[in-house]
A and B are shown apart, each in its own frame.
Chain A
Amino acid sequence: MEELFERLAFSVKEVTGFIYPNEIELHWSILIVVYPYLTGLVAGAFILASLERVFNVKEVEPTYRLSLLTALAFLIVAPLPLVAHLGHPERAFEIFLTPNFRSAMAMFGFVYAWYLLVVLLVELWFEYRKDIVVWSKKEKGLKKVIYLILTLGASDLSEKSIQFDKKAGKLITIIGIPSAFLLHGYVGFIFGSVKANPWWSSVLMPVVFLFSAIVSGIALMILLYMVITLFRRKPVDMSCMDKLASFLLYAMILDFSLENLDFIHRIYESEESIKILYQLLISKLFISMVVIQILLGTIVPMVFLAWTKLARLPDELRRLIYFGSAILTLIGIFSIRWNVVIGGQLFSKSLRGLTTYKMELLGIEGLLVALLFLVLPFIILYILVALFPPWKEAEVELEA
């Protein structure tokens, strides 16, 4: 109790203007920032992988399997921040047991389950089946058991069944693209449909979320690919990098235009909330929105990426620029999520006052837990990569 009061006393001092008592403390903490960030990375990585499959972009092939594994690693962690945020995490499963089809929030479980079970796992299974079957014969000990279970008994390696794997994989990718759109568009929908909150309520929200997801997914893959090849002491495939960087640039241009459209639309509409939103922007969100999100997270990488397109730069410099831009973009997208989730709770429903967000360090909703959820996907990815090496060289070649 005492501690609660202390926290409240701190926040009260930061309040400006008039604010209702239940708005002083934020209810959605940094964990809820991490959640859309993670699902965005999932959707982005998956959509990048689909590009290779559906549109036959050969250059990005080296990242295909890695993207799928990355999507899986992040997808496994994505719901954890939500569950940790709940006072009664064990009740989370009620949304499956007693589904409420009229609640958008309750539908998350189904969107998630569909995406995990029907799309990602099945696609990975078809993609890796041939390799798994071979490994299950070659490996020994625990690994053998794992692979054996994963074959699900389907050990047929005939030409016909390999051909079927390919076709099925393609079909699932085609189902997967709208599903990835659904997964992350859904998160935008949740925010966009809160009509009482003028910072969130916008039909563009799902679309903006989606494009920022694609941006973050591509940036993550650039970064992962470069770091992993560095550790594997392999040469970086520059044509793949150039292609990824182009995609990143185009996605960013689209994303930025959409965001500006949203912004101009709000200014033109000038609803009664515009004054407080302006206050919010120039005070509490100035650093995270204007400086980090727009300037460092969007404009700087866009300018640098455009530079690599316009001028002939040496490989070394291009790699450096790609690397830096990817990091800045990832930070930028994180601050987008921050500005949406935290920003949307900083102003009063009375539209007359602002509060502040005091992040905990140690608590269950604190910074450390959030960092844990950001690191966990990489650990899972490490294990996945060890089990299912995504490199070309590791792929099993079958003698016909």
Chain B
Amino acid sequence: MPQQIKYLFGLAVVLVFIFLIVRHYLVSPSFGQYGHYRAASLQTVVSQEIKYGGEIACTECHEDILTLKNKSYHRGVACEVCHSAAYAHTQDPYEHKPPAPRTRAYCPLCHGYNPTRPTGFPQIDPVRHNPAKPCISCHNPHDPTPPVTPKECEPCHTEIARTKILSPHAPLPCTQCHEAKEEHKLNPRVALPSKPRNREFCGQCHSQEAESPPKILQAESPPEIPRVDMKSHYSGFLCWECHYPHYPEARLKKEEETE
């Protein structure tokens, strides 16, 4: 055997031997007991502080809420998402009370309109969607089904309905401006509803002479209706040539212009 091989081989054997000795002292004895990890680390993990109780823990005392929620649209949202970590509460419910997010700012974290959310996920514009009231005044957080299901005209004219509900004309029912026979809902094209035909129609509420507030709205404590002078306010045009009747904008435009 050449001299080189002898010495190189000797060196390799020494190195491997040193490695094995070092390994013997550095690798924890419990390594590999259950798998490719230090079995003693399980103890370390177990001894960590528990923060979350988990939904099943809530069943014990809030079964009604859990049952309600799990049948609702929020079945996929766990209790502690909204109420924050509540393990301490499950141990001593009176000493530790989990917070409940009652403010309006909270729900739009998930439901505020954001173009990158998946299509079909229920989203609202927090500025326009029934403003000034907390969400939970209309939606039960544990069963948030919208308080009204679309009926009357909405199922077919959803876009107009959804537009109108955000507009200053929200309090006006469709039938205020369109006379629709029952037949229209069964056979729409055969019995088309009426549409306003002239400026005077809008004048019923918006002319300076119109009664205030108009009879139709008296029941619901109506807002102050803005008035125009029917003679001078762009006479010669139909009102809806400029104002979209399902979303009339005027003061909004004015604000933008003065900005």
> Which residues in A have some Cβ–Cβ distance to B below 8 Å?
17-18, 93, 96-98, 100, 117, 122, 125-126, 129, 152-156, 160-161, 164-165, 168, 350, 352-353
Can you offer 26 A-B residue contacts whose CB atoms are under 8 A? A17-B116, A18-B114, A18-B116, A18-B117, A93-B26, A96-B19, A98-B32, A100-B36, A117-B15, A122-B8, A125-B8, A129-B4, A152-B7, A152-B8, A152-B11, A154-B3, A154-B4, A156-B2, A156-B4, A160-B2, A161-B2, A161-B3, A161-B4, A164-B2, A168-B4, A352-B116
User: A97 contacts which chain B residues (CB < 8 A)?
Assistant: 22-23, 26-27
Contacts A18-B117, A126-B4 supplied; 12 other A-B pairs, CB < 8 Å: A17-B116, A18-B114, A93-B26, A96-B19, A97-B23, A122-B8, A129-B4, A152-B7, A154-B4, A156-B2, A156-B4, A168-B4
User: A164 contacts which chain B residues (CB < 8 A)?
Assistant: 2, 4
CB distance from A132 to the nearest CB of B (A): 12
Instruction: Tell me, in angstroms, the Cα distance from A17 to B32 when the chains sit together.
Output: 45
Contact in complex: B3, A98 (CB < 8 Å): no
Contact in complex: A98, B7 (CB < 8 Å): no
Instruction: Tell me, in angstroms, the Cα distance from A168 to B1 when the chains sit together.
Output: 13
User: B3 contacts which chain A residues (CB < 8 A)?
Assistant: 154-156, 161
Main secondary structure of the interface of B (DSSP, over half): helix
> Which residues in B have some Cβ–Cβ distance to A below 8 Å?
2-4, 6-8, 11, 15, 19, 22-23, 26-27, 31-32, 36, 114, 116-117
User: B36 contacts which chain A residues (CB < 8 A)?
Assistant: 98, 100
- Decide yes or no: A98 and B27 within 8 Å by CB, A156-B3, A164-B2 being known contacts: yes
User: A168 contacts which chain B residues (CB < 8 A)?
Assistant: 4
CB distance from A398 to the nearest CB of B (A): 16
User: B4 contacts which chain A residues (CB < 8 A)?
Assistant: 126, 129, 154, 156, 161, 164-165, 168
Which B-chain residue is minimally distant from A350 (CB atoms)?
B116
Count of A-B contacts judged by CB separation below 8 Å: 45
CB distance from A246 to the nearest CB of B (A): 36
Instruction: Tell me, in angstroms, the Cα distance from A18 to B116 when the chains sit together.
Output: 6
Instruction: Tell me, in angstroms, the Cα distance from A155 to B11 when the chains sit together.
Output: 15
Contact in complex: A353, B26 (CB < 8 Å): no
User: B27 contacts which chain A residues (CB < 8 A)?
Assistant: 97-98
- Best-surrounded residue of A96, A125, A154 (most CB of chain B within 10 A): A154
User: A153 contacts which chain B residues (CB < 8 A)?
Assistant: 7
Which B-chain residue is minimally distant from A167 (CB atoms)?
B2
Which A-chain residue is minimally distant from B25 (CB atoms)?
A97
User: A98 contacts which chain B residues (CB < 8 A)?
Assistant: 27, 31-32, 36
Instruction: Tell me, in angstroms, the Cα distance from A129 to B117 when the chains sit together.
Output: 67
Contact in complex: B116, A353 (CB < 8 Å): yes
User: A17 contacts which chain B residues (CB < 8 A)?
Assistant: 116
Closest 5 CB pairs of A and B: A18-B116, A152-B7, A156-B3, A154-B7, A154-B3
Instruction: Tell me, in angstroms, the Cα distance from A152 to B36 when the chains sit together.
Output: 38
CB distance from A223 to the nearest CB of B (A): 34
Instruction: Tell me, in angstroms, the Cα distance from A154 to B2 when the chains sit together.
Output: 9
Instruction: Tell me, in angstroms, the Cα distance from A168 to B4 when the chains sit together.
Output: 10
Which A-chain residue is minimally distant from B27 (CB atoms)?
A97
- Best-surrounded residue of B2, B4, B7, B31 (most CB of chain A within 10 A): B4
Instruction: Tell me, in angstroms, the Cα distance from A122 to B36 when the chains sit together.
Output: 33
Instruction: Tell me, in angstroms, the Cα distance from A81 to B246 when the chains sit together.
Output: 64
User: A161 contacts which chain B residues (CB < 8 A)?
Assistant: 2-4
Instruction: Tell me, in angstroms, the Cα distance from A97 to B8 when the chains sit together.
Output: 23
Which A-chain residue is minimally distant from B32 (CB atoms)?
A98
User: A117 contacts which chain B residues (CB < 8 A)?
Assistant: 15
Which B-chain residue is minimally distant from A164 (CB atoms)?
B2
User: A152 contacts which chain B residues (CB < 8 A)?
Assistant: 7-8, 11
Instruction: Tell me, in angstroms, the Cα distance from A122 to B26 when the chains sit together.
Output: 28
Which A-chain residue is minimally distant from B23 (CB atoms)?
A97
Which B-chain residue is minimally distant from A353 (CB atoms)?
B116
Which A-chain residue is minimally distant from B38 (CB atoms)?
A98
User: B7 contacts which chain A residues (CB < 8 A)?
Assistant: 152-154
CB distance from A310 to the nearest CB of B (A): 48
Instruction: Tell me, in angstroms, the Cα distance from A117 to B6 when the chains sit together.
Output: 17
CB distance from A283 to the nearest CB of B (A): 16
CB distance from A170 to the nearest CB of B (A): 14
Instruction: Tell me, in angstroms, the Cα distance from A152 to B19 when the chains sit together.
Output: 19
Instruction: Tell me, in angstroms, the Cα distance from A358 to B194 when the chains sit together.
Output: 62
CB distance from A307 to the nearest CB of B (A): 47
Which B-chain residue is minimally distant from A101 (CB atoms)?
B36
CB distance from A321 to the nearest CB of B (A): 43
CB distance from A97 to the nearest CB of B (A): 5
Instruction: Tell me, in angstroms, the Cα distance from A100 to B114 when the chains sit together.
Output: 44
